Chains A and B, each alone.
Chain A
Amino acid sequence: MTARRLHLCGDAGAVLVFVVLLMLALVGLGHGLLVASLGEVAASSAGARHLTARGAADGVVSAALRKPFAAWMDSVPVGGARVTETISFGRAAGAATLRRLTRESWLVEGRGAFRDGADVRVARLAWSLDPLERVTELPGVLSAAPGSVWTIDGVVDAGAPARVDPPLDAADCAPWLVDLEAGYATLLPPAGVLTDTVDAPWLGLLDFPSLLARAPVLVSGAGTPGPVEAFGACVEVAPWGWGDPEESGRPCSGQLPLRASPGGLSVVGGVGQGVLAVDGDLTLTAGARYYGLVVVRGALRLEDGASLDGFAVALGGGSVDAGSRVRGSACWAVRALAAQRAELGGLVAVPGVGPIGPL
């Protein structure tokens, strides 16, 4: 009897061992599941941290590219860098650094960092108009696209582009005078041909649609510009109020506006200064006087005693009739562009390049 019960107990023991082994297997499976789950959670968390950091880096670069021109950008030397933007993106922080590569070329570096050290860097190449660079790169006082012709029966003075003539004085051109004198050490031709240009107005990455979009006031048709004053102040939004270059001390003498025309434009008499962009043909006639930089997609015609002090870019070429005059003044052109830094100097992502990386 005792042996039989022991035998039965032996059977029960085998079952118990079997059950215990089964339980161990189940526990093992459970641990395996737990480890796999923890691994997935860890991988997903790492992915989320990385994506958050990258979002912060991308976001801060986009924010830097949307910002308007800042005056401190001119103080950054070529090769120098400065932090320009910081943002928070979830639990990540982003910081953008502007690194100046050339006078007009910038690298916008974005760095996104998560608390635990996840770190992502992205960079984009950007461009910002530099007045001095733009003007000194022009091949002549009058510049045209390849194949276009200038007919000059009047006077085009290209003898001393860096010279400061009245109504300007040296103080008006002081920030650029040294560079201009160095840049025009060699002779500048009256008329030059733009290289590698089909429809760009030689303002770097600013094409005509960009110029028109950035101009605060558009003009069209024909008109006579002149200073517009009210209550002792200059009315800067008047479409044909183009400043007062010949009367220093007047309210509009410091107004160098950007005016743009979506089509052909005729300026009949009057006086003005600044940057004039015309998406068509431009005619200065009846003694019209303009000081600054003229950018024309079509042809530029000066006739009937008209005058231009500054530089002109006309992709379609043009003519300077007898009795009309162009005086090549780099100071006027640079000064006019510099007055528009807020409108034209913002960073533009260089197209066709993509991100600079991996960094």
Chain B
Amino acid sequence: MSGTSHGRPQATHRTRTMGFTLAEILVALLLGLLVVHLGLDSLTRLDAASERIAARTDALVALRVGRHVLRREMRHGLMGADWEVGGDSLSIRAFRGAALVCRNDSTTAGLVVSYVGDRTPDPTKDSVLLVTAEGSRAVRALMGTAAPPVSCAALDSAGAATWQLDTAAPAGTVAAKLFEHGSYHLSGAALRYRRGGSGRQPLTPEVWSAATGFAASAERVGVELVPRDTLAGPPWRGLVSPGVAR
């Protein structure tokens, strides 16, 4: 009796303990599955969000760099005279600096100038656009540079130099703009620069679709930048140059 009475509670206790354990396992399994499900779902969303952020960041970088480069290059030249748009490309005199003329020696074809620019002149690839006081323009090849025979500090923070040209500069030349020939291309999903006959170097991440291109008219030039990935955001259409010769 006592054993029975003693054993019932034991049996009951065993049964209750076993039952709670099963319930706990079931609940734990369900909760575990839920957590795993939520976890995997979150990982998937996290991965998608990372991709979207990366794509959006690349598109923004490409937009910013492309727009800045094109605007900066085109604003220093004149449409038709210094650059023109054809198809997916922009052929351009890429200006790299400017100089004021202190002395023009027509005999030796030498110009003593005060020069400021993005980089130092390079006779292997640079040419010079010469401008007279009344707006006449002439182009000469830059054959060499040397130290000036006289001082020339016409521009602030400028360096003086003698530029040797292939032929003499016109009389009345007051300013010179240093440039290299190049072309920009909206192709291969990126903005690419090509100097002379060299390859097209990408300047931006490769994020744009084939619908990207220039939109030129007689009065203005714009671009339409269409991201290849819809995650990267909407297309951007805008003006990069008024285009009117000034």
Cα A15 to Cα B244 with chains together (Å):
67
Contact indicator B133/A358 (Cβ below 8 Å): no
Is B95 an interface position by the 8 A CB rule?
Answer: yes
Is B234 an interface position by the 8 A CB rule?
Answer: no
Q: Which residues of A contact B172 (CB under 8 A)?
A: 102
Contact indicator A29/B174 (Cβ below 8 Å): no
Cα A205 to Cα B154 with chains together (Å):
24
Cα A101 to Cα B104 with chains together (Å):
13
Is A204 an interface position by the 8 A CB rule?
Answer: yes
Is B221 an interface position by the 8 A CB rule?
Answer: no
Contact indicator A356/B177 (Cβ below 8 Å): yes
Contact indicator B39/A19 (Cβ below 8 Å): yes
Instruction: Known A22-B43, A352-B78, A358-B117; judge A127-B96 contact (CB<8 A).
Output: no
Q: Among A32, A205, A352, A356, which residue has its beta carbon within 8 angstroms of that of B245? A: A352
Contact indicator B76/A354 (Cβ below 8 Å): yes
Q: Output the nearest chain A residue to B39 by Cβ-Cβ distance.
A: A22
Q: Which residues of B contact A107 (CB under 8 A)?
A: 100, 175
The distance from the CB of B69 to the nearest CB of chain A, in whole angstroms, is 13
Q: Among B17, B75, B154, which residue has its beta carbon within 8 angstroms of that of A1? A: B17
Q: Output the nearest chain A residue to B102 by Cβ-Cβ distance.
A: A79
Contact indicator B135/A359 (Cβ below 8 Å): no
Is B123 an interface position by the 8 A CB rule?
Answer: no
The proximity string for B residues 93-110 relative to A, scoring 1 for CB distances below 8 Å and 0 otherwise, is: 001111010000000000
Provide the main secondary structure of the chain B interface. mixed
Is A219 an interface position by the 8 A CB rule?
Answer: no
Contact indicator A351/B39 (Cβ below 8 Å): no
Q: Among A8, A40, A105, A349, which residue has its beta carbon within 8 angstroms of that of B133? A: A105
Instruction: Known A29-B46, A204-B134, A358-B76; judge A105-B174 contact (CB<8 A).
Output: yes
The proximity string for B residues 56-68 relative to A, scoring 1 for CB distances below 8 Å and 0 otherwise, is: 0100100010001
Q: Which residues of A contact B77 (CB under 8 A)?
A: 354
Contact indicator B100/A40 (Cβ below 8 Å): no
Cα A356 to Cα B246 with chains together (Å):
12
List CB contacts (< 8 Å) of A274-318 with chain B: none
Contact indicator A353/B135 (Cβ below 8 Å): yes
Contact indicator B28/A11 (Cβ below 8 Å): yes
Contact indicator A79/B39 (Cβ below 8 Å): no
List CB contacts (< 8 Å) of B20-79 with chain A: 21, 24-25, 28, 31-32, 35-36, 39, 42-43, 46, 49-50, 53, 57, 60, 64, 68, 72, 75-78
Is A125 an interface position by the 8 A CB rule?
Answer: yes
Contact indicator A357/B98 (Cβ below 8 Å): yes
The proximity string for B residues 3-31 relative to A, scoring 1 for CB distances below 8 Å and 0 otherwise, is: 00000000000000100010011001001
Q: Which residues of A contact B75 (CB under 8 A)?
A: 355
Is A123 an interface position by the 8 A CB rule?
Answer: yes
The distance from the CB of A227 to the nearest CB of chain B, in whole angstroms, is 37
Is A33 an interface position by the 8 A CB rule?
Answer: yes
The distance from the CB of A357 to the nearest CB of chain B, in whole angstroms, is 5
The interface centre, meaning the residue of A39, A107, A127 with most chain B CB atoms within 10 A of its CB, is A107
Q: Which residues of A contact B246 (CB under 8 A)?
A: 349, 351-352, 354
Contact indicator A26/B46 (Cβ below 8 Å): yes
The proximity string for A residues 318-348 relative to B, scoring 1 for CB distances below 8 Å and 0 otherwise, is: 0000000000000000000000000000000
The interface centre, meaning the residue of B82, B100, B133 with most chain A CB atoms within 10 A of its CB, is B133
Cα A123 to Cα B118 with chains together (Å):
15
Q: Which residues of B contact A33 (CB under 8 A)?
A: 53
Is B211 an interface position by the 8 A CB rule?
Answer: no
Contact indicator A358/B137 (Cβ below 8 Å): no
26 contacts between A and B (CB under 8 A): A19-B39, A22-B42, A29-B49, A29-B50, A32-B53, A39-B57, A40-B57, A40-B60, A47-B64, A47-B68, A101-B174, A105-B133, A125-B133, A127-B134, A204-B134, A350-B131, A350-B133, A351-B246, A352-B81, A354-B76, A354-B77, A354-B82, A354-B246, A358-B95, A359-B98, A359-B117
Supplied contacts A25-B43, A40-B60, A352-B137, 11 more A-B pairs, CB within 8 Å:
A11-B28, A18-B39, A32-B50, A79-B154, A123-B98, A351-B246, A353-B137, A353-B175, A356-B131, A359-B98, A359-B117
Chain B positions near chain A (C-beta within 8 angstroms): 17, 21, 24-25, 28, 31-32, 35-36, 39, 42-43, 46, 49-50, 53, 57, 60, 64, 68, 72, 75-78, 81-82, 95-98, 100, 116-118, 131, 133-135, 137, 154-155, 172, 174-175, 177, 245-246
